[in-house]
């Protein structure tokens, strides 16, 4: 995708980014019913935006996706959210967001970026340099514990 840039999100984008999350999640066949039954699962807290760990991918001012990282107690970072506009899927937006998050995390001292991945996204995460290290029960099923960085 041409002219894709990734930048920190601003608090005023909260609703627009939650809307991206809705559109992306509803396009996952396995997640659709869970989300429609549990709409509270879609939330991007203002505090998270204000803390500076949310990043937006855009092309000439048009938002294509966003990602969020959080610090972990072990000093590493957690990829807490990653959502791309369905119309922009398979154009490198997700990979650009992951790479940006990994750079931001390692610049802050983390040695690895972790994610609890939805099984349908495993091939994507592996393509982005993650490896699967376990599983974890989540609210909507089994998630894959995945990690990119030092062992």
Binding residues (CB under 6 A) for ligand COA: these are 24-25, 28, 82-84, 89-95, 117-118, 121, 123-124, 127
d(CA 68, CA 80): 5
Report d(CA 22, CA 42) in Å as an integer: 7
* Residue with Cβ nearer ligand COA (49 or 81): 81
- Taking the complex as a whole, how short is the minimal distance between the CB of residue 118 and ligand COA, in angstroms? 4
> Smallest gap, in angstroms, from Cβ of residue 84 to ligand COA?
4
Decide: 146 and 115 in contact? Cβ < 8 Å: yes
In whole angstroms, give the CA distance from residue 82 to residue 118.
11
Q: Torsion-angle region of residue 149: left (phi > 0), alpha (psi -120 to 50) or beta? A: left
Partner residues linked to 92 by β-bridges = none
Residue 83 C-beta: closest distance to ligand COA, Å: 5
CB-nearer residue toward ligand COA: 36 or 109: 36
- By beta-carbon proximity to ligand COA, the closer residue of 91 and 132 is 91
**Rounded to whole angstroms, how far apart are CA atoms 132 and 2?**
31
Token pair of 79 as six digits: 């990829």
Identity of the residue, 49 or 117, whose beta carbon is nearer to ligand COA in the bound complex = 117
Residue linked to tokens 């991007």? 44
Least distance (Å) from ligand COA to the CB of residue 24?
A: 4
Task: Considering the complex, state which of residue 56 and residue 93 has its C-beta at the smaller distance from ligand COA.
Answer: 93
| In the complex, residue closest to ligand COA by CB | 94
Shortest Cβ 106–ligand COA spacing (Å): 19
């Amino acid at each position: 995708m041409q002219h894709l840039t990734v930048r920190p999100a601003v608090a005023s984008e909260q609703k627009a980014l939650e809307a991206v999350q809705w559109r992306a999640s509803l396009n996952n066949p396995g997640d659709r019913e869970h989300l429609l039954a549990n709409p509270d699962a879609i939330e991007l807290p203002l505090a998270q935006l204000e803390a500076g760990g949310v990043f937006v991918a855009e092309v000439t001012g048009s938002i294509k996706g966003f990602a969020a990282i959080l610090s972990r107690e072990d000093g590493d970072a957690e990829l807490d959210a990653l959502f791309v506009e369905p119309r922009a899927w398979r154009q490198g937006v997700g990979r650009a967001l992951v790479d940006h998050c990994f750079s931001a995390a390692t610049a802050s001292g983390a040695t690895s970026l972790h994610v609890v991945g939805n099984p349908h996204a495993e091939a994507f995460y592996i393509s982005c340099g993650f490896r699967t290290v376990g599983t974890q029960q989540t609210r909507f099923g089994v998630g894959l514990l995945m990690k990119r960085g030092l062992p």
